[in-house]
RNA sequence: GUCCCAGUAGCUCAGUGGAUAGAGCGGCUGCCUUCUAAGCAGAUGGUCGCGGGUUCGAAUCCCGCCUGGGGCACCA
């Protein structure tokens, strides 16, 4: 249990006692009992519960606050409980208890920051899942970072996390890719190759066609009918997938499972789901197509499952896919991270999940809003088909993985963002990313200097850590588990970089005011302990964000 | 037309019912004989898009409007 929950439970307990002995009237307890006040003069925690209770209790809020505050009382953990007008209760954590938490952080080591919120629960996070028909671009990078950090944080909160990439290796777009690549291949062989309408026109396919011609010669041209295009296409898709993995790797993004859409068909899950939907009375035939009757479930309209051509839509695949996630693999929760262009997809997938007898509340969809790429204020158009675009690879090469991750992560997923390449590179000289990493490097430097000087800190007395800067640093370190839990609750990982910035501010201020290695051996070892605790904190934050924690800069 | 998201400091963005609205970047003033100045301290900078409403209390909730982006395909 982290600190905020601890304090909240103390308040609830006090309220319950007051109500059971008639000191205060019995009314429902407010949801939010405590918050972190903005102003440090108001203590470590503040409760506005008396103000909220005043109406239902028909009492003066100050009177409620006085009675509650008396019942909370002080002890080893809470050193002060004060009432402030017009009805706040301000709670201060005992400095002695804060100091002892430094020992606790050292004891936890790399596990510091973890919680048990998701203990015993499995959760799947599916992200990126871009069709393997072309290179990843800037917009995909946002979802990739979002998914990877969310997965890490969920892991820190005790969930058993499975990170998944859904590979759309079936369907129209794949056929189109086969034909497009075959056309480029034929062109490379200086034969007639007609690009299909809406084909993939990017430079990458021209290059790949050229390469295939060099490696394989006319082998595929000589094959009969469409077989050449399919055989070549399969090789091409493999190559695209390799490139995607490589690009994601350069951004420190990885997956546990690469799930093949085709397997839903070859392993009959598609048939199973279609039968379930049919048996459940959710399927109708109309205009030659097969429809999912979502309008009967409160949707605006029905959705096509099987086109009049007999080819299933991606929506049909998605139904089978989510059946596989929930029923076959039995995940307790599933998070899908999609781009803004999939917004209209959410309700119907939830509807079909519900129609399959699954609690659709277990499925959560996060939409990563659009990224507008700019270069010196000029908007750079992103189009997969024209080839005029900035790929994820170029982005990482230009800006660097750490800075990319930070910039994408620091913005909330549902806000559109401008990503200015010139600005990101320019700022990287004097940039928030370095502010965080510099804190870690400074700590590592102090600790290695101490080690070289033969100084140890095992016996350090944490109660010597009494300056405001030292206590502020400890306070901020102890917020990490709260941040982890609040990210899990809101599914908003952008809180992590903001928290880490605040932690860095607390540290840099400490560094400036409190020299660690001095002639005072007792104080030196106490401060070394704090430095090690802080280093553990920064290392954990940076690791959760997938960023480097350098020992030197 | 309709649904969703956004509009907060010069710029990029946090803050979604509490007390004096924050950070980074840019600009201004100070601070390096001591563990890394990629740092610290301070000052300046805001009608929280606009107008109503609810509340003891609104950037935050409700209604209307304005602006920008996206969704409403037998595309993915």
Cα Rg of chain A (Å, integer): 29
Q: Could you tell me the two tokens for A222?
A: 């000589």
Model pLDDT, residue A385: 43
B41: residue with closest CA to C1': A509
Model pLDDT, residue A220: 94
Q: What is the distance in angstroms measured between the alpha-carbon CA of A410 and the sugar C1' of B64? A: 33
Q: Give pLDDT tens digits along chain A (553 positions).
A: 789 999 999 999 999 999 998 899 988 888 778 999 988 889 999 999 999 999 888 899 999 999 999 999 999 999 999 999 889 999 999 999 999 999 999 999 999 999 999 999 999 999 999 999 988 988 899 999 999 999 999 999 999 999 999 999 988 889 999 999 999 999 999 998 888 888 888 889 999 999 999 999 999 999 876 789 999 999 999 999 999 999 999 999 999 999 999 999 999 999 999 999 999 999 999 989 999 998 888 777 899 999 999 999 999 999 999 999 999 999 999 999 998 888 889 989 999 999 999 999 999 999 998 888 887 767 776 544 444 567 888 889 988 999 999 999 999 998 888 888 877 887 666 788 999 999 999 999 999 999 999 999 999 999 999 999 999 999 999 999 999 999 999 999 999 999 999 999 999 999 999 999 999 999 999 999 999 999 999 999 999 999 999 999 8
Q: What is the distance in angstroms measured between the alpha-carbon CA of A504 and the sugar C1' of B72? A: 45
B12: residue with closest CA to C1': A418
> What is the separation of C-alpha A530 from the centre of its chain, rounded to a whole number of angstroms?
29
- With CA of A449 and C1' of each nucleotide, the nearest comes out as B35
Q: Which residue ranges form the domains of chain A, and what is each CATH number?
A: 3-93 (3.30.1360.70), 172-250 (no CATH), 429-544 (1.10.730.10)
B3: residue with closest CA to C1': A344
Model pLDDT, residue A310: 92
DSSP for A99-143 reads HHHHHHHHHHGGGTT---TTTT-EEEEE-----TTS--BHHHHHH
> What is the separation of C-alpha A434 from the centre of its chain, rounded to a whole number of angstroms?
21
Q: What is the complex's ipTM, to 2 decimals?
A: 0.95
B25: residue with closest CA to C1': A427
Model pLDDT, residue A374: 81
Cβ burial, residue A16 (10 Å; 0-12/13-18/19+) = middle
A109 dihedral zone (left: phi>0; alpha: psi -120 to 50; beta): left
Phi, psi of A277 (to 5 degrees): -65, -40
Q: What is the distance in angstroms measured between the alpha-carbon CA of A290 and the sugar C1' of B48? A: 50
Distance of alpha carbon A356 from alpha carbon A344, whole angstroms:
20
Q: Taking a C-beta distance cutoff of 8 angstroms, is the pair A312, A306 a contact?
A: yes
Among A141, A147, A215, which residue's Cα sits nearest to residue A185?
A215
Cis peptide before A287 (omega within 30 of 0): no
Q: What is the distance in angstroms measured between the alpha-carbon CA of A363 and the sugar C1' of B40? A: 47
Predicted model pTM: 0.94
Among A104, A83, A81, A88, which residue's Cα sits nearest to residue A51?
A88
Q: What is the distance in angstroms measured between the alpha-carbon CA of A347 and the sugar C1' of B54? A: 31
Nucleotides of B under 7 A from a protein CB: 4-7, 12-15, 17-26, 34-41, 55-57, 68-76
């Amino acid at each position: 249990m982290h600190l905020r929950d601890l304090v909240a439970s103390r308040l609830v307990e006090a309220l319950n006692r007051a109500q059971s002995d008639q000191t205060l009237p019995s009314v429902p307890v407010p949801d939010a009992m405590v918050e972190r006040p903005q102003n440090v003069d108001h203590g470590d925690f503040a409760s506005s519960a008396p103000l909220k209770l005043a109406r239902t209790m028909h009492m003066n809020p100050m009177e409620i606050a006085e009675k509650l505050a008396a019942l909370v009382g002080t002890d080893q953990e809470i050193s002060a409980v004060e009432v402030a007008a017009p009805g706040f209760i301000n709670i201060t954590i005992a400095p002695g208890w804060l100091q002892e938490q430094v020992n606790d952080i050292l004891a936890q080591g790399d596990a510091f920051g973890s919680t048990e919120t998701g203990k015993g629960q499995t959760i799947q996070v599916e992200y990126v899942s871009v069709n393997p028909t072309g290179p990843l671009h800037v917009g995909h990078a946002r979802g990739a970072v979002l998914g990877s950090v969310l997965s890490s944080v969920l892991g820190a909160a005790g969930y058993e996390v499975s990170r998944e990439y859904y590979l759309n290796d079936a369907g129209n777009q794949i056929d189109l890719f086969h034909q497009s690549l075959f056309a480029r291949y034929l062109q490379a062989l200086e034969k007639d190759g007609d690009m299909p309408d809406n084909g993939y026109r990017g430079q990458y396919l021209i290059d790949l066609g050229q390469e295939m011609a060099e490696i394989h010669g006319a082998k595929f041209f000589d094959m009969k009918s469409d077989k050449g295009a399919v055989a070549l296409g399969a090789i091409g898709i493999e190559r695209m997938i390799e490139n995607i993995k490589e690009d994601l790797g350069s951004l420190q993004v990885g997956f546990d499972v690469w799930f093949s859409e085709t397997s839903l068909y070859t392993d009959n899950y598609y048939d199973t789901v279609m039968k379930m939907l049919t048996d459940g009375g959710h399927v109708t035939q109309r205009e030659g197509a097969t429809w999912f009757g979502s309008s009967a479930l409160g949707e605006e309209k029905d959705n096509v499952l099987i086109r009049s051509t007999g080819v299933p839509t991606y929506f049909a695949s998605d139904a089978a896919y989510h059946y596989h996630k929930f029923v076959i693999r039995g995940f307790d929760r599933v998070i899908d991270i999609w781009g803004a262009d999939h917004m209209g997809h959410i309700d119907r997938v939830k509807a079909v999940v519900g129609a399959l007898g699954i609690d659709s509340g277990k499925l959560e969809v996060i939409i990563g809003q659009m990224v507008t790429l700019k270069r010196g204020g000029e908007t750079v158009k992103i189009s997969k088909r024209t080839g005029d675009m900035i790929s994820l690879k170029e982005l990482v090469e230009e800006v660097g993985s750490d800075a990319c991750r930070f910039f994408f992560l620091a913005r909330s997923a549902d806000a559109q963002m401008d990503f200015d390449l010139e600005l990101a590179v320019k700022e990287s000289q004097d940039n928030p990313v370095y502010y965080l990493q510099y804190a870690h490097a400074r700590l590592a430097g102090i600790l290695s200097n101490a080690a070289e000087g033969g100084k140890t800190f095992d016996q350090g007395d944490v109660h010597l850590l009494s300056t405001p800067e030292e206590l502020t640093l400890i306070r901020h370190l102890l917020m990490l588990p709260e941040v982890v839990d609040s990210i899990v609750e809101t599914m908003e990982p952008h809180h992590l970089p903001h928290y880490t910035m605040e932690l860095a501010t607390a540290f840099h201020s400490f560094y400036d005011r409190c020299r660690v290695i001095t002639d005072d051996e007792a104080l030196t070892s106490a401060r070394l302990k704090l430095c090690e605790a802080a280093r553990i904190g920064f290392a954990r934050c940076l690791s959760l964000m997938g960023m480097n924690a350098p020992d030197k800069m």
